[in-house]
A and B are shown apart, each in its own frame.
Chain A
């Protein structure tokens, strides 16, 4: 696990000079940097990545805390918590979470975690930090657009955060904000001003995501170093590339939905409204379609699931291979399955709408295409398993989370086969089965991918390690806790228990799960506390963590480990290294690892 084999930059011979496409900048002399240009309005991709990550962490704490609050209501419906009234006033009068507050919490939990944490916090962080480092570039194609991407995200965050303090509360119609509920202030407190804030925030967020995505795509396509052909890229790059493509093609559709909804709300249009009598008031709107919004929403909403999941898959592939000391099995199949998932992601959105009255004939196509996604997913799982097989596995914290990811992806992915089959969806739609499914496969699994990424690349980000013991506690409690929280929910789902209910006690059909709910809530609180331990570990280790002393602490092949321990703006002090091979030559010809920068030897065996 040492790095003496690596030749690069500083001492490189004349032969590697010609490939540096950015000879104009970089190099050793730094510009005079102020606090403002270094930490705030920075164009350095690494710092922007950290900005995304830390903003994402703050949002994750808020979004996670919201889930703890509404789990209090679900787990202990008969108890009162006076401190809630102290904190939230009328929203928790008498120490009980009001219905409006409950729905606001649920909605914000979903919005925050799906968009602000698992989209911006995950792909924003790792696309920024890893793309230039792993393809061998000084920075993103446009550092300025990249900076704007973060600041639009910041603006979106500010607007969304402000909406939490509005008198009528934030949006409360579920994270999908279906009209007419979200269009009519008369129908719900959360559909008043809070909903406008939600839509405006999402518009900024979409701008951010588009600026970022275009940058990721153009950087990966144009700024690869000499020798870095597309098929030599690490799988993280392929995953982020497809993620960016998905985002660029689908987010604009959500923007159209958001803008039309803003029009319906404020300008008297009828895109989504027709024949409505609300609270006795007869509205003039006719001819719109509430279902149209769902098509626009899910045309993003489904690819969004893969926008969240693909970067996690990419990082997990990389980490599994590095720590098994073995090449990733079936590299081209892995790329091919990412591509297949990317294409299919656009063709399955209506599987969220099987029970909206969708034409059954049309529904049949969506069933077929949805279940087709299981094929590339199966390929990925079996390839990961084969990567572990006959490896020599080091359980670094990143590796623990990567293995946890595979387990969760299997568990959550298999229940997708239930829900994608329209016949079963008629029964299971909008029950706790759905909650269990998507929390495991896209929520927790992606979080595991994200944690794996943070533990693996933290030494590159800050030149220090995270504390190992806290990492182990974090992993084991989170893995066990996630299963304890979400596994039992499959059962309440199979009992037909509907989502988004604050209380089931008045229902003959659903009132028998009180014990289970209390158990789930208790575990959720423990798991949340352990996430705070991670956050503490993260911030503590930035300043006080054990220092990284070798350039390549994990013994990895990829280019980011050829940079100095604390790379400056421009990444490599000398020339950008040239690449001679793929990223996965681990355990080849009896050698532990062969970095991408090493030329192929004359007697080397082929793979």
Chain B
């Protein structure tokens, strides 16, 4: 085991980034034209990085597996983006955003990175507004804010429930400007299947053209992985169907350490699953918790009556309801962080109070908010004596203006009208805090290979706060990577174009072909999805919201078993040199089957509970925090970075010790 050097700059935390930028090497504009950079992924991180790098003068080659960069899964982010603007004058500051993020991450993130994130956050909003991103505004024409879980200020900027879409289209438009100028060469419907290293440095990728099936070699002086998270290892998650770990896993197998794979965010407000055919889960933005109250019935008879359909949730009076978050966490109530809210829902459902047929659902109720807003609106409209009915009508209008598209989405999926009856929600896998290990410069342990956005591990610790993913993706892509990559590329100004006929490229290409031909020629009896579903079930049951030693050991053995069967018995129809979605899936699931094992292995080794990682063996036994997660700072205040050695369970552990100079480590309390 070695100790990893994160290359954090010296000096006080508030000066680190400025000093670092002033000291690192720059590449002069004429030389940037001689340098190629590959960016894999065109979400917020990859899209903004491509646009910025191209604008600075580098030749960018951007890759996405979708048919257009605009479709990357950042598009689906609903709620908002945080920024320390303090427009609401509620005491927000860079320090407070930094503090909230470190605390929300349960003290498992790297202080210096988080501070930098908070520092550049305000510029993101300026940048996006200048690009024409239509954020929500107040009647005075200024930007509006909302509040999100785990914090006590309103610092979240939003565009209805489509903030991710608007920000991604902003980054996409910045890319389009550069594509039009020829500075970005865009490869749609291309998937990276291997990293190519030459003399130990990342020098290119092998990609498959998903339309023709052709295997292509692409070279560059640096490679940026911005391919998102790996939540689909659970099969069911809120991720898009195509979201995968392959790019990240391929660089891992070529020498990049993989950090904290077990840190997964289970989002508390998703639409519950309805049947075995379920292909994905749909998130309902956390912003709904601003106005929605979460509850289950107090009495078991009511639960049973509701499941049988003899009672409706609206039949229950206030004192027949258990608003369990308000009861357990009076200070934060329904706005506790995501991990806390998720576990609390699981606790009630495990105790038998789940309100749907599967027993895995709780209510999210807007009735109180509708009436409260309705009364405010009635007063403003000069109708102080409005009837309850009128108040409700006005209130529903206010709620519709705030969350209309989310309510509509819910109704489309469930056929229930959430204005009239409470929504049913349940936690689902949503985001992965773990990822490729990077230093302060966002460089992985492979020289010249960078990771940005959800694909890296650095900023969210063991739990991510709401509206922080968009912030991190854009911070990495617009403002961090474009600077730090220059420090590395400054040594490459005389290298010249990287040839693609070297033995390293040939070997990598052959390995990819062999792997894919293996799937095509396997002629087994079961579909790729069959194995993916089985993997997902093991992950959810034993490596999900709550984990214990025995379950994790079983999970590792079961995943190994599924992997073995997969290679023996998977059936991939069609050929290699054509559009073949089953082949694409097979390659992705093969990587998930390895990642899943490392994931469980990491969870097994971390015997503490922290953030989204809850080990049943490590809970507070008594006192006011009884049952809450118990961290072990003495033994686990480090980043676990795993080195590939040939099989996931024998991965070699490297530790990056986390030191907290600017924040005191405390138990997270939202009581």
* Chain A bound to chain B: no
**Residues of B participating in the A interface, judged by any CB pair closer than 8 Å:** none
